[in-house]
Amino acid sequence: MRLLCITLLLVLATVQHLHASDLERRLEAVFLGRFASFIELPDNSRDRFVITLIDDNPFGGMLDQIYKDKTIHNKPIVVRTVTRVREIGKTDILFITLSTTAARQEAIEYAHRNGIVTISEARGFAERGGIIQLNFVGQKTQIRINYAAAQRSGIKIGAPLLSIATVLRGEEP
């Protein structure tokens, strides 16, 4: 009985309640996959679609739960978390929660070299070369896409996604 009690306590201690009102987090989790479906990556050779989170994982187990039965570009989805840029390896989407500009910049540059779509909530992310900046302002979703940076990375972004975003075209036509 004592063992059962301890087991249940441990289970409860690890359960993350993503409450109903945390809609921002749910939308963010959904957007990761939905964005990907409108994006064509330069390296399409892997047999799995990989979403990597660097630094914190604000979603808990939600991404695994949402994406376990789904596919993106007909590929099963893998969600992984890393803490350092050198651990990123091969991935399709990199969700960046790194807290300092320098660390984010390092991640952006790595992604740029490897044709990876970067997504972050950080202010100024798109202006600094990130591909997609996702914010919630006044209880509304705001998407900012650095189209020029995407093109430089060989990433193609579909019109439906561009149509709902503020697009930074930089020096691109």
Choose, by CB under 8 A, the member of 42, 127, 169, 172 that binds another protein. 127
| Continuous H helices in 15-152 | 23-37, 62-67, 101-114, 147-152
Q: How many CA atoms lie within 13 A of 44 on its CB side?
A: 12
Residue 61: CB minimum distance to another protein, A: 8
Stretch that binds another protein, among 30-38, 80-88, 112-120, 148-156 (CB under 8 A): 30-38
Which of the residues 91 through 110 are near another protein (CB under 8 A)? 99-102
Who contacts 52 (Cβ-Cβ below 8 Å, separation ≥6)?
Answer: 79, 80, 81, 82, 88, 89, 91, 93, 94, 95
Query: What are the beta bridge partners of residue 146?
Result: 168
Binding-site size, another protein (CB under 8 A): 55
Q: Which residues lie near another protein (CB under 8 A)?
A: 1-2, 4-5, 8-9, 11-24, 26-27, 29-31, 33-34, 38, 60-62, 65-66, 70, 99-102, 123-124, 127-128, 135-143, 160-161, 163-164
